[in-house]
Amino acid sequence: MKPSNMDTLAKALANAAMTVLVRSCRKEVAGASHARLETACAAMRAKARPVLDQLLDDARAAPWVAEAAFAAAALELAQTGIAALKASEA
């Protein structure tokens, strides 16, 4: 895959994951400090490479499920961010 295509895919995945995180935890995000939001984003960034690799593997193995693989990847990243956001509450 070309680097520009990979960048586009990564940005779309990040946008989808952030959308899920914000929609799922609207109140928590609205009331969170910058540090707590950064903690959630850092956790998502740390998880991004293995999730993206899995997405690409899944799409190569079964191109007809690429859309579902993308959605699963976005949900996995969002779940990582949500867990970090909730853990930083305590």
pLDDT confidence of residue 90: 67
pLDDT confidence of residue 6: 87
Q: Is 43 buried (19+), middle (13-18) or exposed (0-12) by CB count in 10 A?
A: buried
3 pLDDT higher than 90? no
pLDDT confidence of residue 82: 96
pTM of the model: 0.90
Q: Model confidence over 23-75: pLDDT tens digits?
A: 999 999 999 999 999 999 999 999 999 999 999 999 999 999 999 999 999 99
Written as six digits, the tokens of 8 are 């586009």
Written as six digits, the tokens of 4 are 């520009």
Please report, for the chain, the start and end positions of each structural domain, with discontinuous segments joined by +.
Answer: 3-87
Report how far residue 66's alpha carbon sits from residue 33's, in angstroms, rounded to the nearest whole number: 36
**Which is nearest to 21 in space by CA: 87, 80, 69, 66?**
80
1 pLDDT higher than 80? no
